Amino acid sequence: MPIVKPPAKVLVTGANGFIAAWVVRMLLENGFSVCGTVRAESKSSYLRNLLKDDVMKGKLEFLVVPNMIDPGAFDDAVKGVDAIVHTASPVHLHADDPDELIEPAVKGAVGVLESACKHAGPLLKRIIFMSSSGAVINAPYTGTFDERSWNEGSIAEVTEKGKDASPMAKYRASKTLAEKATWDFVKRNKQNLTWDLVVTNPTYVFGPTLSDARTPSDLGTSMLMLYEGVFSYAKTMEERANYQSEWSDVRDVAEAQLRALQTPEAGGQRFLLAREPFNWLDWCDTVNDLKVPGISAPFTAHGKGPKYRLRFDSKKARTLLSLEFRYSRAETTKDIIDEFIARGFL
């Protein structure tokens, strides 16, 4: 049961992503060194400037990995690291062919593990693969789900319908197949591994962003959905009420990766990350309750919407990782509003 402590060096793939950027920042704040991979040098510019003191101190470096499905794409990145947090994976809902999502998700995940086996060396103790609740939830998408569940339904839909599968099924299938591939890799190679695997499965993730987004369309998928679901007038009250899931603040999700690195018993475990259920009317209510001058949401329901049909059990993360999910919806909403105002989105 290895444990990774500061000043260990951690590789974070897809370092400029919504969650990954917070993981990078939190690792640095807790005394770790970080190597972050990005698809192009320009993708690192914002973080380089934001965290320039750490760059100057040699605590933060970036490595360009143009295409993570290339054989050996991560060979150089894994050298000399004590741990890996693999977050790089396509996250969008506009793929035509399911393989646009599935191929990079699966090959990227397996590629990191293959590079780790060949080039990481004896320092490597733990790899965290950030999956998704999309790999857990399963049709008919009602009831309570925990880490024992797998999303076989989306795989079946994509297999049967191909390009005609729903956008969400394509995305969820990519996350499920990528996670399955990581566990299968570890099972096949466990006799030769000097490191162990931890998987985290966040639900919807909201909160302030560490990016150079200049318009709402530049936001990541989950934050763009929140912007459209809460602040736009494009959706009806019924649509906002019927869209249900659970959520966590991005800073709590980043902390979960940090705790997964430092908790010996986390090895070999899968962790659902979910603070509480929501529909978009809940967020509308919170926006209106905050009474920020000049800011309001289109609807107010205050508990009059339908009951939650879907729940996620995050007991394991709360107990084994001692994760408190510290940010309430009111705190997260206030921070989002402040950011959106500063960026000119509201």
**Is 174 in contact with 102 (CB distance < 8 Å)?**
yes
pLDDT, tens digit, for every residue of 55-74? 999 999 999 999 999 999 99
64 with 37: CB under 8 angstroms? yes
Tell me phi and psi for residue 163, to 5 degrees.
Answer: -60, -20
Q: Are 166 and 157 in contact (CB under 8 A)?
A: yes
pLDDT digits (tens, 9 = 90+) for 112-168: 999 999 999 899 999 999 999 999 999 888 999 999 999 999 999 999 999 999 999
Looking at residue 94, its pLDDT comes to 87
Q: What is the pLDDT of residue 157?
A: 95
pLDDT of 304 strictly over 80: no
**Among 92-96, 285-289, 334-338, which is the least confidently predicted range?**
92-96
Q: What is the pLDDT of residue 93?
A: 84
| CATH number for the domain whose boundaries are 9-208+247-274+311-326 | 3.40.50.720
* Placement of tokens 């897809």 in the chain: 14
Residue 314: its pLDDT value, please?
97
Half-sphere exposure (CA, 13 Å, Cβ side) for 318?
12
Q: How many helices (H) and strands (E) does the chain have?
A: 12, 12
Q: Is the pLDDT of residue 305 over 80?
A: no
Q: Are 334 and 317 in contact (CB under 8 A)?
A: no
Taking 80 as the threshold, does the pLDDT of residue 299 lie above it?
yes
Mean pLDDT of the chain: 95
| β-pair type (196-202, 83-86) | unpaired
Task: Tell me what percent of the chain is helix, strand and coil, each rounded to the nearest 5.
Answer: 45, 15, 40
The answer, yes or no, to whether residue 36 has pLDDT greater than 90, is yes
How many beta carbons lie within 10 A of that of residue 252, not counting itself?
Answer: 22
Domain ranges of the chain: 9-208+247-274+311-326
128: nearest Cα among 311, 305, 254: 254
Q: With H, G, I as helix, E, B as strand and everything else as coil, classify residue 83.
A: strand
The single-letter code of the amino acid at 232 is: S
> Can you give the pLDDT at residue 303?
66
Q: In 3-state terms, what secondary structure has residue 159?
A: helix
Single-letter amino acid, residue 98? P
Question: Can you tell me the distance from the alpha carbon of 83 to that of 130, in angstroms, rounded to the nearest whole number?
Answer: 13
Are residues 34 and 77 in contact, defined by beta-carbon separation less than 8 angstroms? no
Mean pLDDT score, 246-275: 97
Q: Which residue has the tokens 């302030």?
A: 208
What mean pLDDT is predicted for residues 302-318? 87
Which of the 8 DSSP states describes residue 39?
S
Which residue matches tokens 């320009």? 42
| Mean pLDDT of all residues in 202-226 | 95
Asked if residue 138 lies in contact with residue 150, where contact means CB atoms within 8 angstroms, the answer is: yes
| Residue 300 pLDDT grade (very low, low, confident, very high; cuts 50, 70, 90) | confident
Q: What is the pLDDT of residues 43-52, one digit of tens each?
A: 999 999 999 9
Q: How far apart are the first and last CA of the chain?
A: 48
According to the model, what pLDDT value does residue 1 have? 62
Q: What are phi and psi of 264, to 5 degrees?
A: -55, -40
pLDDT digits (tens, 9 = 90+) for 244-260: 999 999 999 999 999 99
The number of beta carbons lying within 10 Å of the beta carbon of residue 152 is: 12
pTM for this one? 0.96
Closest CA to 277 of 130, 132, 87, 142: 142
- Of the pLDDT bands very low, low, confident and very high (cuts 50, 70, 90), residue 236 is confident
pLDDT, one tens digit per residue, over 11-25 is 999 999 999 999 999
The average pLDDT across 309-329 equals 97
